[in-house]
Amino acid sequence: MTAAGDLDRAGIGELHAAELARFQQGRPRSLAMLGRARAHMPNGVPMAWMASDNDQPVFIDRGQGPGFTDIDGFRYVDFNASDLAMFCGHANPSIVAAVQAQAARSTQFLLPTEASVQVAEELARRYPVPQWQFTLSATQANTEAIRLARAVTGRDVILLFQGHYHGHFEEGLVDLADGRAVPVQRGLSKGVTGRVRIAQFNDPGTLRAALEPGDVALVLTEPAMTNYLHLLLPEPGWHQALRELTRQHGTVLAIDETHTHVAGPGGATGLWHLEPDIVTIGKAVAGGLPMGAYGVTAELGEHLDAARNVATGGTLFGNPLSAAAAKAALSEVLIPGAYRHTTELGGELADGIEQAIRAAGLPWTAIRFGPRSGQWYGPMPRTGAEAHALTDGQLTRLVRIWLANRGVWEALPGAGPTVPVPATRADVTRYVNAYAELLARLR
């Protein structure tokens, strides 16, 4: 018995090879484009992730609504939603119109526009922090949250939870391996592990021990861990303990809503009435245009006064194009009805996945969190360490290529599918039918 049950490993490999061959044979234009691209881009793609997360990159022609079409003419329902950046859907008319209108008036001033004020007002209405600043990504928002916390506390250490992902800044690329903090990728500074401490989500004991030395500037966490290890929901009392312990130790608490904001207008912070010092967000907040944001308490906001010289900012931060897109996304797309719709369809997706698992007799568990779903290859874990033990790269690769051959673009490994705003019940049915077919085939 393995994390994937008693499935035949050789059979999984053979089926994956057959599905990959089918995928490649049907996409000659993408294969030719990939060969051309390799002359001037490593891996043939503009960013290495596009190669590492896919057996075979496809080149995209256009997107519309809940899906996109590649240059060979294959259309996919996008349950990855571009890693949630396109939760609003592709080419959403409201966002397209806002971007076109602003582009005609210029894309940059290095000065504020009214739209930036309106976006800050709306984010302050949704989240329990009144002061907001803008970046170009959630990675940069988290980076600035860390710098602010260090400036305020005079401390260096950042505390994260095993299995986290908060972006590609140095501290965010440290995690546990064999019980010790190590860089998860190459190219980081040698001293970075000394600035990061790792605890276990849902485990107040490890959190208390990690905070005890009194040198932690910031605890950065998702309200539910959704980004790297599928989904870890908070256990009853976890967020209360997290808030109490950080306050006791004079540590700033930042909640990263970049992926969890799809749960409702105020994200999981609003859903569970959390009380963070900082909220960070990105992805769909501007309908997929480059934008991140972070909100802070009034007290922390005073430290962002320009005269106090905290290391924040960037030339393109707060630009009018991103602000216009965010205003349209927040006022016309990411509205209460959209969250109700996606949560309902997300529940139906989880139901379908659960039924397929049971029909196949597999010891797996369906995931449920608003519009997000997926499965664990075993019982529901409670900590990052338990979640890590249930990962299965070979099986995940098979699921992705199988679904792609049936018109479904699956979420990035470790994320789980998300129902985007323009998706329909027919799109969910398409996913469920393809998934159930695979599980029956595996058995």
Q: Is 96 exposed, middle or buried (0-12, 13-18, 19+ CB in 10 A)?
A: middle
Are 9-78+336-442 and 93-333 in the same CATH fold? no
Do residues 77 and 431 make contact, with C-beta atoms less than 8 angstroms apart? yes
* The CATH number of domain 93-333, selected from 1.20.1630.10, 3.40.50.880, 3.40.50.720, 3.40.640.10: 3.40.640.10
pLDDT along the chain (443 residues), means of 10: 69 95 96 96 91 84 98 98 96 98 98 98 98 97 98 97 92 89 91 95 97 98 82 95 98 97 97 98 96 98 92 96 98 98 98 97 94 92 87 91 97 88 98 97 89
Query: Chain-centre distance of CA 358, in angstroms?
Result: 28
Angle at 253 between CA 252 and CA 259, to 5 degrees: 145
> How many CB atoms lie under 10 A from the CB of residue 109?
11
294 has which bridge partners? 133, 280
Tell me the CATH architecture of domain 9-78+336-442.
Answer: Alpha-Beta Complex (3.90)
What pLDDT is stored for residue 5 in this prediction? 60
Q: What is the dihedral of CA 189, 176, 379, 423, to 10 degrees?
A: -10
What pLDDT is stored for residue 18 in this prediction? 97
Report how far residue 353's alpha carbon sits from residue 343's, in angstroms, rounded to the nearest whole number: 15
Q: What is the pTM of this model?
A: 0.95
Report how far residue 139's alpha carbon sits from residue 148's, in angstroms, rounded to the nearest whole number: 14
The kind and range of the H/E element at 441 are helix 425-442
What pLDDT is stored for residue 1 in this prediction? 38
Do residues 379 and 387 make contact, with C-beta atoms less than 8 angstroms apart? no
Domain parsing of the chain, residue ranges: 9-78+336-442, 93-333
Q: Where are the alpha helices (DSSP H) in 229-335?
A: 238-248, 267-271, 298-302, 320-328
What pLDDT is stored for residue 89 in this prediction? 98
Q: Where are the alpha helices (DSSP H) in 272-424?
A: 298-302, 320-328, 336-360, 384-389, 393-404
What pLDDT is stored for residue 4 in this prediction? 58
What pLDDT is stored for residue 307 in this prediction? 82
